[in-house]
């Protein structure tokens, strides 16, 4: 299912309060962005126990129950997990990954709030969640009859929301500081190949590992952990950031002339990170129009072009990332700066093409 409108995690509680208390809701979103934890926190806020059923681990009889003979008649007894006396939150996780027969078994539970003779207690809520087929995750098409029984909400990752949550839950400072500088690295689209990719969940995993190993974690172990949890490009950048934290060697020192670009081959991950930080600084400080460049800023422009030349002498490939277009092929840096870069560094701009 495609998202026409998306919401951030911070919007979910109020949205669910108005929707889930009157109708069943289905929460769509990519793997690892916090759908399950959001539902559990929402249930807690209402004082309801959250009972999770995992669609991939259910058979139809797990919902319908097994028959018993009472007074010469067969009666289906719903499972204890569902048949409760007090209101609760029924969370149908990975609902769209369930088999068609299991999805059918949910029909009456979702719309009519009953299974056989059992009816959910008044005040109970029903929320489903699942990944999208475009996320390369296990997902099956949902029949129109089930689609029409749910209100559909599409969740997107938000670095601002996650960083607020991270500050309240002891996430490792390397992770929070890094994502404060690179919020675009919080989430990346699931790859088509079998490799780690960055999500709020994987950053949480990395935080747990960093806490576990402590400040004495050696560089090789750090690389194993980081590359085992994050998108490869993000992992290289984070390792470079970790070197900066450990050796107090950052972009500020380079911009001021107190330090130079690292040139050792073993510091290439650090060089990539510094180049990304340099690019971010240029995007932030350079105006879109050249006539808006003040005399004081002109000194920054001269210094930036000089640093770009120095960076290209170490690695044209790394320097090219500073002036590269975005994912849609649109220039990120102002066109006037790119023109000046082309004049001063034709070899670098040719590589960009």
58-89 confidence digits (pLDDT tens) = 777 777 666 677 777 766 667 778 889 999 99
pTM (2 decimals)? 0.69
> pLDDT of 89-135, one tens digit each?
999 998 888 888 888 878 888 888 887 778 899 999 999 998 887 76
Beta bridge partners of 149: none
Average pLDDT over the chain, rounded to an integer: 86
pLDDT for residue 351 is more than 80 = no
Is 161 within 8 Å of 8 (Cβ atoms)? Answer: yes
Beta bridge partners of 92: 53, 128
pLDDT for residue 164 is more than 90 = yes
* Weakest-pLDDT range from 19-28, 225-234, 293-302: 293-302
What pLDDT shows up at residue 249?
A: 60
What pLDDT shows up at residue 348?
A: 64
> pLDDT of 166-216, one tens digit each?
999 999 999 999 999 899 999 998 888 889 999 999 999 999 999 999 877
What pLDDT shows up at residue 67?
A: 67
Rounded CA gap, 353 and 348, in Å?
9
> pLDDT of 130-162, one tens digit each?
888 776 666 677 878 888 889 999 999 999 999
pLDDT for residue 49 is more than 90 = yes
pLDDT band for 353, please (50, 70, 90 cuts). Answer: low
> pLDDT of 234-265, one tens digit each?
999 999 889 887 766 678 788 888 788 888 88
Is 208 within 8 Å of 214 (Cβ atoms)? Answer: no
């Amino acid at each position: 299912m495609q998202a026409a409108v998306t919401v951030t995690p911070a919007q979910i509680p109020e949205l669910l309060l108005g929707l889930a208390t009157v109708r069943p809701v289905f929460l769509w979103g990519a793997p690892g962005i916090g759908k399950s934890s959001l539902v559990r926190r929402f249930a807690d806020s209402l004082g309801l126990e959250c009972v999770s059923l995992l669609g991939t681990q259910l058979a139809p009889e797990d919902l319908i129950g097994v028959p018993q003979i009472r007074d010469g008649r067969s009666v289906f007894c719903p499972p204890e997990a569902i048949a409760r006396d007090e209101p609760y939150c029924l969370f149908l996780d990975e609902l769209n990954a369930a088999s068609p027969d299991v999805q059918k078994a949910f029909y009456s539970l979702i719309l009519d709030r009953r299974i056989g003779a059992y009816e959910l207690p008044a005040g109970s809520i029903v929320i489903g969640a699942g990944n999208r087929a475009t996320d390369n995750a296990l997902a099956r098409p949902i029949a129109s009859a089930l689609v029409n029984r749910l209100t559909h909400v599409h969740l997107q990752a938000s670095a601002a929301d996650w960083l607020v949550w991270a500050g309240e839950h002891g996430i490792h400072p390397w992770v929070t500081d890094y994502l404060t500088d690179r919020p675009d690295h919080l989430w990346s689209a699931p790859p088509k190949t079998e490799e780690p990719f960055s999500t709020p969940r994987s950053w949480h995993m990395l935080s747990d590992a960093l806490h576990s190993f402590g400040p004495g974690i050696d560089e090789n172990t750090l690389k194993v952990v980081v590359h085992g949890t994050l998108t490869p490009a993000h992992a290289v950048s984070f390792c470079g950031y970790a070197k900066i934290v450990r050796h107090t060697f950052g972009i500020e020192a380079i911009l001021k002339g107190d330090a130079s670009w690292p040139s050792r081959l073993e510091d290439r991950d650090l060089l990539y990170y510094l180049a990304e930080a340099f690019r971010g600084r240029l995007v932030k400080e350079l105006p879109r129009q050249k006539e808006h460049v003040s005399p004081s800023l002109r000194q920054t422009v001269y210094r930036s072009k000089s640093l770009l030349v120095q960076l290209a002498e170490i690695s044209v490939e790394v320097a090219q990332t500073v002036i590269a277009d975005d994912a849609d092929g649109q220039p990120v840096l102002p066109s006037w700066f790119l023109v000046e870069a082309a004049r001063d560094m034709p070899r670098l701009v040719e590589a960009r093409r």
